[in-house]
Amino acid sequence: MPRKIFPSGFLWGGATAANQCEGAYDSDGRGLSSVDTIPAGPERMRVARGELEMLSPLPGYSYPSHQAIDMYHRYKEDIALFAEMGFKCYRLSIAWTRILPNGDDASPNEAGLAFYESLFNECRKYGIEPLVTIDHFDTPIALIKKYGGWRDRRMIDAYLKYCRAIFTRYKGLVKYWITFNEINMLLHMSFMGAGIVFADGEDKTRTKYTAAHHELLASAEAVRLAHEIMPESKIGCMLAAGQFYPYSCNPDDIYDGLEKDRDNYFFTDIQARGAYPVWALKRIERAGITDLFADGDAETLMNGTVDFIAFSYYCSRCTSTDPEIIAHHSKPGNAVFRSVINPYLKSSEWGWQIDPLGLRITANTLYDRYQKPLFVVENGLGAVDVVDSDGKIHDAYRIEYLRSHLLALRDAITEDGIPVMGFTAWGCIDLVSASSGEMRKRYGMIYVDKGDSGQGSLKRIRKDSFYWYKGVIESDGANLEE
């Protein structure tokens, strides 16, 4: 029997986000962004959700992302390591405020533009295709102060100004783009996803759906603009995916799972199909929002459908309507998605349940829904790594996680026929965690000597998973079953 392998031209690689790896948060004219003011520690979730206002870094709080892994100064070394692993693709994000420090400046900051130009050239030198997220949890603080974040329609023009600057400059250097990272996160972490801080008594549902509408319009306009400026470009949407499984076959649980999945599909349905689904319009109506659509909005959405569906997948989710199950089997209150614990699955140290088959299920569901090529742009295991006495990092647990997920993805491609453009492992180099703000939650195949209190030499060390992933890429996945 010939071994099943991934298709030729598959975009193997890794993924990072500017605010989680670059550091240098105030260098070379960079303006302050939402992610710079969300501290690590106990207040993080409240700030990320928009329940506690912090619009500047404050004394007494810790911000590991301000230095992060200093990729701003070390990207050449890091990209050389990616090339050594055989990457065909590197997903990264541009920091909006390196380009437009106030979010909507009349002219872009040349130092910021030059930085990414050099980074993209470095990728090209090794034949690595950049995949660029335009907005990865990144709202300029100046715009939050001016407009209150994405609740205001004027954010669309600011975003498009930023898009025009980067599309014009990087035309020919970048072919693959993503408009917003995990756009559905806006409903759960409204400050992180949309720069929104809720006022006391504010109608949160109304604000969230209004902000969502604005981001969806911005995404559609960006697709149109990208195709106009760079006719060769491919531009996708991106959702935090992971199917909701009903805890039981009680129809109430099934329906609850359907509704919770719709919280996520709300965004991709519109980005992929160009119009609000009927149930989404009913949600808007029930929320009492009557003034969402301005003249021309429906056409804008219809004319800006995406070329591909990118998604992150870490785990599936589980839901129940039974008060007993909810009371005794729920994940901790600070979990991003409200989910009950699936008794069939094991969990990571951070309580994320490990479900490789869930990736195949999710890929099938997304393709059934949209019939557009998929791109797995985040997947991986956050774990504590230890440098052994031999100076190495033996991360067999990470290899096992990735191996099982890649096998499931391979089956989705070879057995189910789903078109998948590529796979970029999240945090291919250790970086700051988005949900916890910690360094100790590591995803990388490259270890970075940096701890939560800022200690460490920033030295890069290849983990066991580095050599393993290199072998996966070299063999197009043929070695996964070894």
Q: Which residues are known catalytic residues? A: 182, 378
**Interface with ligand BGP, residue 264, by CB under 6 A:** no
**Interface with ligand BGP, residue 218, by CB under 6 A:** no
**Interface with ligand BGP, residue 463, by CB under 6 A:** no
Least distance in angstroms from the C-beta of 157 to ligand BGP: 25
Q: Three-state SS for 189?
A: coil
Q: Nearest-CA neighbor of 189 among 55, 21, 38, 315?
A: 38
Name the residue nearer to ligand BGP (CB basis): 169 or 331. Answer: 331
CA separation for the pair 253, 340 (Å, rounded): 12
Least distance in angstroms from the C-beta of 426 to ligand BGP: 5
Name the residue nearer to ligand BGP (CB basis): 225 or 309. Answer: 309
**Interface with ligand BGP, residue 434, by CB under 6 A:** yes
CA separation for the pair 196, 191 (Å, rounded): 4
Name the residue nearer to ligand BGP (CB basis): 19 or 109. Answer: 19
CA separation for the pair 337, 329 (Å, rounded): 14
Which burial class, exposed, middle or buried, applies to 86 when counting CB atoms under 10 A from its CB (0-12, 13-18, 19+)? middle
Within 343-372, which residues bind ligand BGP (CB under 6 A)? none
The residues that bridge with 180 in the sheet, in sequence order, are 135
Cβ neighbours of 107 (radius 10 Å)? 8
CB within 8 Å of 273: residues ≥ 6 apart: 305, 370
Render the burial of 119-134: b for 16+ CB within 10 Å, e for the rest. Answer: bbebbeeeebbbbbbb
Least distance in angstroms from the C-beta of 20 to ligand BGP: 6
Choose one: 81-89, 161-169, 201-209, 432-440; the region binding ligand BGP (CB under 6 A). 432-440
Task: Provide the mask over 266-305, with x wherever binding to ligand BGP is found by CB under 6 A and - wherever it is not.
Answer: ----------------------------------------
Q: Nearest-CA neighbor of 439 among 385, 381, 379, 391?
A: 385
**Interface with ligand BGP, residue 113, by CB under 6 A:** no
**Interface with ligand BGP, residue 435, by CB under 6 A:** yes
**Interface with ligand BGP, residue 441, by CB under 6 A:** yes
Task: Provide the mask over 308-347, with x wherever binding to ligand BGP is found by CB under 6 A and - wherever it is not.
Answer: ----x-----------------------------------
CA separation for the pair 185, 211 (Å, rounded): 12
What DSSP designation does 110 have? Answer: H
Task: Provide the mask over 221-240, with x wherever binding to ligand BGP is found by CB under 6 A and - wherever it is not.
Answer: -------------------x
CA separation for the pair 198, 196 (Å, rounded): 6
Name the residue nearer to ligand BGP (CB basis): 20 or 342. Answer: 20
Q: In the set 182, 215, 221, 385, which binds ligand BGP (CB under 6 A)?
A: 182
How many residues sit in the footprint of ligand BGP (CB under 6 A)? 14
Q: Nearest-CA neighbor of 44 among 432, 431, 435?
A: 435
Q: In the set 65, 109, 139, 181, which binds ligand BGP (CB under 6 A)?
A: 181
**What amino acid is encoded at 193 in this protein?**
G
CA separation for the pair 381, 242 (Å, rounded): 15
CA separation for the pair 431, 477 (Å, rounded): 26
Least distance in angstroms from the C-beta of 450 to ligand BGP: 15
Least distance in angstroms from the C-beta of 362 to ligand BGP: 15
Q: In the set 356, 433, 442, 473, which binds ligand BGP (CB under 6 A)?
A: 433
Least distance in angstroms from the C-beta of 136 to ligand BGP: 6
Choose one: 48-56, 74-82, 271-279, 435-443; the region binding ligand BGP (CB under 6 A). 435-443
CA distance to 11, 104, 176, 236, per residue, from 127 (Å): 11, 33, 14, 22
CA distance to 20, 359, 443, 450, per residue, from 363 (Å): 27, 6, 22, 35
CA separation for the pair 93, 88 (Å, rounded): 17
Residues that bind ligand BGP (CB under 6 A): 17, 20, 181-182, 240, 312, 378, 382, 426, 433-436, 441
